Amino acid sequence: MSAPETKQGMIWGVGLGPGDPELMSVKADRLLRNATHVAHFRKAGRTGQARRIIGDMLHADVTEIPMEYPVTTEIPLTDPRYNEMLSAFYEESAAHLRDLSNAGHEVVIVSEGDPFFYGSFMHLYTRLKDDCPVQVVPAITGMSAAWTATGVPITWGDDVLSVLMGTLPEDALVEHMEKADALVIMKIGRNIDKIRNALRRSGRFDAAWLVEYAAMADQTVQKLADAGEKVTPYFSIIVVHGNGRRP
């Protein structure tokens, strides 16, 4: 008689929320505290924000799987090597996770914010979903924490909200900024000067807020005009509130 086939283990894509562990969902908390294998992204030599959010939630005997990016900002996005290196990284990471699932192990992959919102997990999901059982646990996004931190509602009535990446060309940023009622701008970092210029050109600069480390211990909130010319950290979001119809 042949041995029974090993049942594939579930791969979970778990959103941790914007940074405060208390903003994590009950389901995410339960999965993490019971996990035997936890995977997380990080830059080489760093702990990684997702791992910092988890803190001491994990079992002492859990198997951790750090996935270290081969490149982040070392070369420009337009360099062909950027996509080549990241694609190989995601393929290798997915292969390892696939092997664990095929061996019957359940794996929790953690992501800051929501796994399906501009996150690295999406690149694993597309490579795994046809071969392994995969479930995604949604979460509060970083942008939600950012606009909440300003103390002002982001949209009213029929306001249109646009979420923009600071990596877009300046003219494209201006075009979207002029069309939308409310704005969220992410991936700021080294793009801050371009974003400032686009906000000025679109007439939105004076209404812009800069939120750094939203919902984290070192959160800061200020008008962008008061921030001077500093380069912002990776976990920064710019918010421009809508002012639409209301009773």
Query: Which CATH number covers residue 64?
Result: 3.40.1010.10
Based on the domain organization, do 107 and 185 belong to the same domain? no
| 2 within domain boundaries | no
Based on the domain organization, do 126 and 176 belong to the same domain? no
Based on the domain organization, do 214 and 119 belong to the same domain? no
Query: Which CATH number covers residue 188?
Result: 3.30.950.10
pLDDT at 95: 98
Based on the domain organization, do 128 and 152 belong to the same domain? no
Tell me the C-alpha distance between 237 and 182, whole Å: 13
Of the residues 140, 167, 190, which one is the last residue of a structural domain? Answer: 140
Based on the domain organization, do 113 and 203 belong to the same domain? no
| 39 within domain boundaries | yes
Based on the domain organization, do 62 and 73 belong to the same domain? yes
Of the residues 140, 159, 189, which one is the last residue of a structural domain? Answer: 140
Based on the domain organization, do 25 and 94 belong to the same domain? yes
Q: Could you give the 3-state DSSP secondary structure of residue 119?
A: coil
**Region of residue 215 (phi > 0: left; psi between -120 and 50: alpha; otherwise: beta):** left
Write phi, then psi, for 93 (nearest 5 degrees): -65, -45
* Chain center to CA of 154: 19
| 205 within domain boundaries | yes
| 97 within domain boundaries | yes
Based on the domain organization, do 136 and 173 belong to the same domain? no
| 62 within domain boundaries | yes
Based on the domain organization, do 45 and 151 belong to the same domain? no
Here the tokens at position 2 are 């042949």
Here the tokens at position 187 are 């991936």
Q: Which helix (H) or strand (E) holds 77?
A: none
Based on the domain organization, do 190 and 168 belong to the same domain? yes
Based on the domain organization, do 131 and 222 belong to the same domain? no
Based on the domain organization, do 128 and 185 belong to the same domain? no
pLDDT at 11: 98
Q: Which helix (H) or strand (E) holds 64?
A: strand 63-69
Of the residues 109, 140, 171, which one is the last residue of a structural domain? Answer: 140
CB-based burial, 116-135: b 16+ in 10 Å, e otherwise: bbebbbbbbbebbeeebebe
| 235 within domain boundaries | yes
> What is the count of structural domains for the chain?
2
| 4 within domain boundaries | no
| 5 within domain boundaries | no
Q: How would you write the pLDDT of the chain (247 residues) with one tens digit per residue?
A: 555 678 999 999 999 999 999 999 999 999 999 999 999 999 988 899 999 999 999 999 999 999 999 987 667 777 888 889 999 999 999 999 999 999 999 999 999 999 999 989 999 999 999 999 999 999 999 999 999 999 999 999 999 999 999 999 999 999 999 999 999 999 998 899 999 999 999 999 999 999 999 999 999 999 999 998 877 887 899 999 999 988 8
* Range of the structural domain that residue 118 is part of: 11-140
